[in-house]
Amino acid sequence: MAAPYQDQARLLVAVDCIIFGFNGKELKALLVKRRLEPEMGRWSLMGGFVQQEESVEQAATRVLDQLTGLTDIYMEQLYCFGDVKRDPGGRVVSVAFFALIKIDDYDEALMMDHHSQWFSLNKLPPLVFDHKNMIRQARQRLKEKASTHPIGFALLPLKFTLQQLQGLYEAIYETSLDKRNFTRKIHSLNILHKLGEKDKESSKKGAFYYVFDRKKYEQLDKEAIQFL
């Protein structure tokens, strides 16, 4: 008996990971120098081929772990990119994922090992294949998701000021937000705990640090309320 699907053409399935970080002023994407042909030496997203024993989610988790050394990070599937001529190396369908990490958590030794670098989303270098389009779509998804889910906290340090939090959302939406309205809305969600310590670097008076309440944060994430 003939094996099922033996007459069907074979193709490769890859994953590409769009990794976003926030440096306190602007959103950045983590890029690597490509190590194989075609387009070797050019800037690229971190990716790899899905192995026989892996799901696409497992492959993306493996790629993120290899690049960042981090496992407990926000990640979700973005889109499937399958243009016939998207990769000059062969017929490759790529499932893209986007992830959010804290820049300070990223190991510098891994950056050197992978020849990786953070780039401002507004100053990206030329990228291989359709990777710039992947970043563009991921950025749009981030804007949509951040409006109804509090996922932006995945980009902030463990403790942060309201100014830092507002700066993050201004970077996501590329616009200025009214300080009083923003603060009122954030406090109304009741997901922050005010700490007794202050950030003294931004001003002489200092600004109080906050942390988020994980249980209430997770509840808001499930409810998908109008966050901003």
What is the chain written as a DSSP string? -PPTTTTSPP-EEEEEEEEEEE-SSSEEEEEEE--SSSSTTSEE-EEEEPPTT--HHHHHHHHHHHHH---S-EEEEEEEE--TTS-TTS-EEEEEEEEE--GGGS-HHHHHHHTEEEEETTSPPPBSTTHHHHHHHHHHHHHHHHHHS-GGGGGS-SSB-HHHHHHHHHHHHTS---HHHHHHHHHHHT-EEEEEEEE-SS-SS-EEEEEE-HHHHHHHHHHT----
Among 111, 146, 181, identify where a domain stops: 146
In the chain, the percentage of residues whose pLDDT exceeds 70 is 94
Range of the domain at 73: 12-146
CATH number of the domain residue 168 falls in: 1.10.10.10
CA atoms within 13 Å, Cβ hemisphere of 173: 14
In this predicted structure, what is the pLDDT of residue 228?
Answer: 66
pTM of the model: 0.90
pLDDT at 203 over 80: no
Q: Which residues are catalytic?
A: 108
Instruction: State which of 113, 146, 179 marks the end of a domain.
Output: 146
Are both 166 and 191 inside the same structural domain? yes
| Residues 98-142: tens digit of each pLDDT | 999 998 888 778 778 888 999 999 999 999 999 999 999 999 999
Instruction: Quote the pLDDT of residue 1.
Output: 54
Q: Is residue 6 part of a domain?
A: no
**In this model, does residue 199 exceed pLDDT 70?**
yes
Q: Tell me if 178 sits within 8 A of 127, measured CB to CB.
A: no
Q: Report whether pLDDT(50) > 80.
A: yes
Please tell me whether residues 85 and 166 are part of one structural domain.
no
Same-domain pairing of 140 and 194: no
Number of independent structural domains in the chain: 2
Tell me: pLDDT of 89 over 60: yes
Is residue 69 left, alpha or beta, with left meaning phi > 0 and alpha meaning psi from -120 to 50? left
